[in-house]
Amino acid sequence: MHIDLITKFYKKLRSDNLSIVYQGDFSDGLTEKIIALSEYSIGKSPEITEMRNKVSFVIVECFQNIVRHGNEHGLNSDNSVWFPGLFSARSLNEYTYIASGNLIEKKDVSFLKDKLEQLNKLDKAQIKELYLDLLTSGTLSKKGGAGLGLVEMARKSLNPVEFDFEDENEKVSVFYLMLKLQANRPRGINNKEYQNEKSVAMLDVKDIHEVMRKEDILMIYKGDFSQETIIPMLKMIEENLNKQQEGVHLKKKLILVLIEVLQNISKHSFAKNGKKDAIFMIGKTEQKYIICTGNIVDAKSSEKIKEKINKVNGLNKDELIVYYKKSLKESLADEYNAGLGIIDIARESSEKLIFDLKPEGEGLSFFSLCVHI
């Protein structure tokens, strides 16, 4: 993964209040954490309770969709995963886009496509009718495909269900599904006006997914960084590491570096309009994990960062321990304690730290950092 990728994604997702894109293992614990992250970003005021509940509901349905339909096709004969499911949640202006990507057998594509097209032709009352029908008569397909879950999502969304199929190999296709939710209930929305064009949001999901697959990225998070978002994110990654059965030592190193880079953003990022908007990515190649962050810093921090990273990059592992001990002895006066954190990161990194500072105008810079573990 090249460090420029973080800049590229940041630019692409710049206007998002929140973006979470994840490909990997889908456990129940994960659903809970993603809901915590999205709830935090949507906000807690009572007037948007309805929106929040809808988003949580659609997230749960999307996850179940991936778990129910994606798993068996994405496995190799030795049970290793060659196609992890995709989940994406983006919040942009008053809209929240929830999307999933999973494999389905090619023979099921036309059936599913028909069902979705039919669903999109229905108006609100008809969807409700269909929903009640399904509730009493059971599901449409043996696995519940295009069944109750989809209809219920369409009811919550009040927008057409967007979908797409992408050929993967001779047996399976990737099924992309996207729901658009909005904070203010739209007036006079007419599902019949739905045009069969792919929205920019859908093209983005597919585009990001392609890069993530190529670069082995497990997760991208862009949004506000505060302790309230850092803790669920840490837990998400920790659960994933447990699932991967990584050794204790590697796990500890990863979590330690994660804590330091994420809290660094929270503490040192320049806040625009009261928000510390930043991006974080974690990727895995066969041997190594790579953690990348990107955030806006002011001119003063920019100089400090350059000086501190160049300093730790100039030291070998033994010298880093000496430097660590020296910093530990220094007084507690340095409230934000940036010195020790960066030494910690450098100590656990298997390579020199890679960083970049790109001018952003108004004396600000975009600081990106990649750590290999």
Query: Which residues contribute to the site for another protein (CB under 8 A)?
Result: 227, 231, 234-235, 247-249, 252-253, 255-256, 259-260, 263, 266-267, 321, 324-325, 328-329, 332, 335, 337, 340-341, 343-344, 348
Return the amino acid letter for 164. D
In the complex, the smallest distance separating the C-beta of residue 107 from another protein, rounded to whole angstroms, is 46
In the complex, the smallest distance separating the C-beta of residue 251 from another protein, rounded to whole angstroms, is 9
In the bound state with another protein, the residue whose beta carbon lies nearer, of 142 and 329, is 329
In the bound state with another protein, the residue whose beta carbon lies nearer, of 25 and 246, is 246
Distance (Å, whole) CA 30 – CA 63: 9
In the bound state with another protein, the residue whose beta carbon lies nearer, of 222 and 276, is 276
In the bound state with another protein, the residue whose beta carbon lies nearer, of 189 and 234, is 234
130 near 55, Cβ under 8 Å? no
Q: In angstroms, what is the C-alpha Rg of the chain?
A: 22
In the bound state with another protein, the residue whose beta carbon lies nearer, of 142 and 249, is 249
In the bound state with another protein, the residue whose beta carbon lies nearer, of 271 and 328, is 328
In the complex, the smallest distance separating the C-beta of residue 151 from another protein, rounded to whole angstroms, is 37
| Residue 202 three-state SS | helix
Please name the residues in contact with 284: beta carbons below 8 A apart, sequence gap of 6 or more: 216, 218, 290
Distance (Å, whole) CA 87 – CA 90: 10
100 near 65, Cβ under 8 Å? yes
280 near 247, Cβ under 8 Å? no
In the bound state with another protein, the residue whose beta carbon lies nearer, of 121 and 325, is 325
33 near 233, Cβ under 8 Å? yes
Q: Nearest Cα to 284, choosing from 315, 318, 324, 243?
A: 243
In the complex, the smallest distance separating the C-beta of residue 249 from another protein, rounded to whole angstroms, is 5
In the complex, the smallest distance separating the C-beta of residue 242 from another protein, rounded to whole angstroms, is 13
In the complex, the smallest distance separating the C-beta of residue 223 from another protein, rounded to whole angstroms, is 17
Distance (Å, whole) CA 57 – CA 89: 13
In the bound state with another protein, the residue whose beta carbon lies nearer, of 21 and 342, is 342
In the complex, the smallest distance separating the C-beta of residue 340 from another protein, rounded to whole angstroms, is 4
Distance (Å, whole) CA 321 – CA 300: 27
Q: How far from each other are the two terminal CA atoms of the chain, in whole angstroms?
A: 13
In the complex, the smallest distance separating the C-beta of residue 265 from another protein, rounded to whole angstroms, is 11
Distance (Å, whole) CA 311 – CA 341: 13
Residue 108: CB atoms within 10 A of its CB come to: 18
User: Which strand (E) or helix (H) includes residue 125?
Assistant: helix 124-137
330 near 337, Cβ under 8 Å? no
23 near 88, Cβ under 8 Å? no
In the complex, the smallest distance separating the C-beta of residue 225 from another protein, rounded to whole angstroms, is 11
In the bound state with another protein, the residue whose beta carbon lies nearer, of 158 and 231, is 231
